[in-house]
Structure 1
Amino acid sequence: MTASPFLAKSKPAKSQTIVVKIGTSSLTRSDNQLALSVLARLVETLSQLRQQGHRVILVSSGAVGVGCARLGLRERPKAIEQKQAVAAVGQGRLMRVYDDLFTVLDQPIAQVLLTRGDLMQRSRYVNSYRTFQQLFQLNVIPIVNENDTVAVEELKFGDNDTLSALVASLVGADWLFLLTDVDRLYSADPRANPDATPITWVQDLEDLNIDVGDRGSAWGTGGMITKLEAARIATSSGIRMAITNGQSPDNILKILAGEPLGTQFAPQPKPNNARKRWIANGLQPTGRLYLDPGAARAVGQGGKSLLSAGIVAIEGDFQAQDAVVLCDRNGQEIARGLVNYNHHELQQIRGRRSSEISMILGYDGADTVVHRDNLVLNPDTLGSEIKPMAADEQPH
């Protein structure tokens, strides 16, 4: 008989790094006021984890919702400048409540506000990592939220499910817990479909066949789609993830003890290293390179560097060292990586041998377009057969 994945793989290590995200729907009541009883149980649970020697990060939603309640607004604002103003009002109030509750248990906390730009630039990414490590050494629980007050649309995470997964990837966490308004993942939205069946264990995201819908709560931004994207980021980084009910934060302790609560996602057995996690998850690609079948196989199945001779088409305006997506001729993503040439240069050298690059461009450039050390394979295409495409179907 196969051993239970919960008991066999959930034994808590002596000290683990645990990221917990709680959503607006769990933090607030129906009147949009803070659910203080839930907050108190959450604070008690996280403090207990710290006392057990674990490193803990809380990613907390709720700033916009609390700001709306403070200002007497009945609807969540839609314009980004309104959200930023309301978040500025709510963030201080939210942190004040957290600080009061954690102080009762003598647990120091810190506020960490991030934008996507903090994770896109390598130096800021590394500095963010070092800040978290220093806070851990000081026995502090960092409370993270998106810096809504200053973030512009193109530099926003979009939702705190994604933010929490990126933070977990950044610090190399062991666990990511998403506390939400449902007790686990279902085959469909249980609020709309009474026939929805619960899912307790996910070994491989590709095996899921569910209708996730697109709705979050009235005051939140994340539906089940964003939670599955968080699972993709976390599991590809070697992080085990669980979705469980935010009304019972002590479920975290039970899951760590091996109880089969919520929905748990198995981590990939061979996760990327820290730099490749940054390339795969921290960066937003600015272009696409389409490869011929030989190059697609060399990169996707052999993990080889990409050479200019294997590129058949280019999309996007990008500079050297930007992130790009490597695709086969059908547009299926094979990998992501940092490109050594800008789009103008690549248009000139695509399909040509590396030995011809200096003659074409007039200077000595890199032999590779994307070096294998700066390339992250898409786990969904590993081992898949990459077939050529008909000439009349090729991208232009």
Structure 2
Amino acid sequence: MARRPTRRPPPTDHRAHGVTTAPTRDPRDVLRTARRWVVKIGSSMLTANGRGLDHDAIARWSAQIARLRDAECEVVVVSSGAVAQGMSRLALKSRPKAVHTLQAAAAVGQMGLVRAWDTALGAHHITTAQILITHDDVGNRQRYLNARNALRELLAFGVVPVVNENDTVAVDEIRLGDNDRLGAMTAGLIEADVLVILTDQQGLFTADPRTHPDATLIRDAMIDDAALTDMAGDSKGALGRGGMKTKLEAAQMAARSGAATLIAYGHHDDVLDAALRGDPVGTLLMPRDPRAGLPARKRWIADQLQRRGRLYLDSGATDALQSTGRSLLPVGVTRVEGRFQRGDVVGCIAPDGHEVARGLINYSADEVSRLLGARGADIANRLGYPGDPELIHRDNLVVR
């Protein structure tokens, strides 16, 4: 197996059109040298807008994936389309609202979806594997590590895993949200070089091109540019759950593991070939420094989508977290919200209402409520037994 290239830090960026553009050195070099790819394909691409699976499109993408493999790249496919395919097979005209109907559609559709990928990739002598994930699988640290190890072992065998959310058993409490985030989470699991999100748009525009004819396509940008959030719309199709805003959030998540994200039109001629060549397709969103991704444990904490509670901080605690990365002490917490236990993920909320950090809590919600504003010497007196001096230790804390 080919050795993965060492990433280089990007040079200083410059600004244009209000967006922090990628470095003056060709930013597409990251695609030309990428050796581990996650390719996420949305429902509208896979199902021909609800008319069943688009087998011709799946065959074209599979041929391109085969060429990526010939270029000594490892590939994981994150495939939407189970619910949409099930809707077609069950003759449902609109996306069901009832959870049990969605689950039934997913169960029916997943059979056809995985068969389609296995057949199309098998035509190129590529072995596939099916991986179905819920938030419970990645929210539990041990199961998260199991998923990571399984994916990496499959790649070592030369397999192309096909990943999807397990919609048949997922409900709102354990749902990942959409497959854009699942793609980013998968990129973190395997420490991918690049996440490719294939969608029905050309990329990220300065405004919604459907309502702003003068909008222009952003070719390359740095993912930490605040201007991008204002440009990303929140529109969603009838078949999928993710809009451009969720794709930007997915790119931010992928950047925490050092991966770049390419958002591109899925039916562009040979889009994956063009990406590998470094052609100017889609929008490339770059992390500030690909080598500076979070450590694996902190990335797992940061990527948890299900917070069990919130801690509301005063200005002093907020400054301490943001400027010095210190542990969170009870003295700086003014209010607690939610029902959680020791070891759960909770958010830390600044006085302006924004989440500034999240981490693994050392106490239950009941215990935290008794410790509000407490100094170290008061902890044992308030609880009636000795406890940790920190609500969240800095080793278990991720500043946003």
Q: Decide: shared fold, TM above 0.5.
A: yes
Q: Distance in 2 between matches of 1:369 and 1:128?
A: 29
Equivalent AA in structure 2 for residue 87 of structure 1: A
Q: Distance in 2 between matches of 1:72 and 1:315?
A: 44
State the partner residue of 1:3.
24
Equivalent AA in structure 2 for residue 51 of structure 1: D
Structure 1's 209 and 307: CA in aligned 2 closer, same or farther, altered over 3 A? Answer: closer
**CA offsets, 1:260-301, max 9 Å, x none?**
210010114222111111101135212222223332222111
Structure 1's 31 and 24: CA in aligned 2 closer, same or farther, altered over 3 A? Answer: closer
Equivalent AA in structure 2 for residue 12 of structure 1: T
Aligned counterparts, 1:255-266, within 5 A: 255-266=275-286
Is the 1:307–1:370 Cα contact (8 Å) retained in structure 2? yes
1:359 to 2:359 alignment: no
Q: Distance in 1 between matches of 2:93 and 2:353?
A: 44
Is the 2:50–2:239 Cα contact (8 Å) retained in structure 1? no
Q: Distance in 2 between matches of 1:321 and 1:26?
A: 40
Output the aligned Cα RMSD: 1.9
Is the 2:66–2:124 Cα contact (8 Å) retained in structure 1? yes
Equivalent AA in structure 2 for residue 103 of structure 1: G
State the partner residue of 1:381.
none
1:338 to 2:357 alignment: no
Q: Distance in 2 between matches of 1:79 and 1:11?
A: 44
State the partner residue of 1:12.
33
Structure 1's 161 and 7: CA in aligned 2 closer, same or farther, altered over 3 A? Answer: closer
State the partner residue of 2:142.
123
Moved more, 173-182 or 360-369: 360-369
Structure 1's 80 and 268: CA in aligned 2 closer, same or farther, altered over 3 A? Answer: farther
Post-superposition offset of 1:231:
1.4
When the two structures are superposed, what TM-score results if normalisation uses the length of structure 1? 0.90
Is the 2:315–2:351 Cα contact (8 Å) retained in structure 1? yes
Equivalent AA in structure 2 for residue 356 of structure 1: D
Is the 2:32–2:275 Cα contact (8 Å) retained in structure 1? no
- Identity in percent: 43
Moved more, 318-327 or 202-211: 202-211
Q: Distance in 2 between matches of 1:86 and 1:49?
A: 32
Q: Distance in 2 between matches of 1:361 and 1:262?
A: 56
Equivalent AA in structure 2 for residue 208 of structure 1: L
Match of 2:258 among 213, 232, 238: 238
Post-superposition offset of 1:42:
0.6
1:45 to 2:70 alignment: no
Q: Distance in 2 between matches of 1:280 and 1:66?
A: 32
Q: Distance in 2 between matches of 1:356 and 1:30?
A: 61
Post-superposition offset of 1:236:
2.6
State the partner residue of 1:275.
297
Q: Distance in 2 between matches of 1:67 and 1:83?
A: 9
**CA offsets, 1:2-30, max 9 Å, x none?**
624424544415xx221100011111224
SS in 1 for 2:302: helix
Equivalent AA in structure 2 for residue 82 of structure 1: T
State the partner residue of 1:134.
153
1:177 to 2:178 alignment: no
Q: Distance in 1 between matches of 2:57 and 2:78?
A: 15
State the partner residue of 1:200.
219
Post-superposition offset of 1:143:
0.2
Moved more, 262-271 or 119-128: 262-271
1:294 to 2:313 alignment: no
SS in 2 for 1:57: strand
State the partner residue of 1:391.
none
Post-superposition offset of 1:214:
3.0
Extract unaligned runs of 5+ from structure 2. Answer: 1-13, 15-22
State the partner residue of 2:103.
84
Extract unaligned runs of 5+ from structure 1. Answer: 379-396
Q: Distance in 2 between matches of 1:293 and 1:5?
A: 42
Is the 1:164–1:230 Cα contact (8 Å) retained in structure 2? yes
SS in 1 for 2:324: coil
Is the 1:34–1:66 Cα contact (8 Å) retained in structure 2? yes
Q: Distance in 1 between matches of 2:326 and 2:61?
A: 46
Structure 1's 97 and 25: CA in aligned 2 closer, same or farther, altered over 3 A? Answer: same
SS in 1 for 2:146: helix
Match of 1:224 among 221, 228, 244: 244
Post-superposition offset of 1:237:
2.5
Equivalent AA in structure 1 for residue 120 of structure 2: L
Is the 2:86–2:105 Cα contact (8 Å) retained in structure 1? yes
Post-superposition offset of 1:104:
1.2
Q: Distance in 2 between matches of 1:181 and 1:267?
A: 24
State the partner residue of 2:399.
377
State the partner residue of 1:247.
267
Q: Distance in 2 between matches of 1:69 and 1:283?
A: 30
State the partner residue of 1:390.
none
Moved more, 154-163 or 115-124: 154-163
Moved more, 39-48 or 28-37: 28-37
When the two structures are superposed, what TM-score results if normalisation uses the length of structure 2? 0.89
Structure 1's 250 and 347: CA in aligned 2 closer, same or farther, altered over 3 A? Answer: same
Q: Distance in 2 between matches of 1:128 and 1:58?
A: 15
Equivalent AA in structure 1 for residue 165 of structure 2: E
SS in 2 for 1:225: helix
Match of 2:339 among 317, 325, 331: 317
Post-superposition offset of 1:124:
0.6
Post-superposition offset of 1:60:
0.5
SS in 2 for 1:186: coil
Equivalent pairs counted in the alignment come to 376
State the partner residue of 2:75.
56
Q: Distance in 2 between matches of 1:375 and 1:5?
A: 35
Structure 1's 209 and 144: CA in aligned 2 closer, same or farther, altered over 3 A? Answer: closer
Is the 1:38–1:249 Cα contact (8 Å) retained in structure 2? no
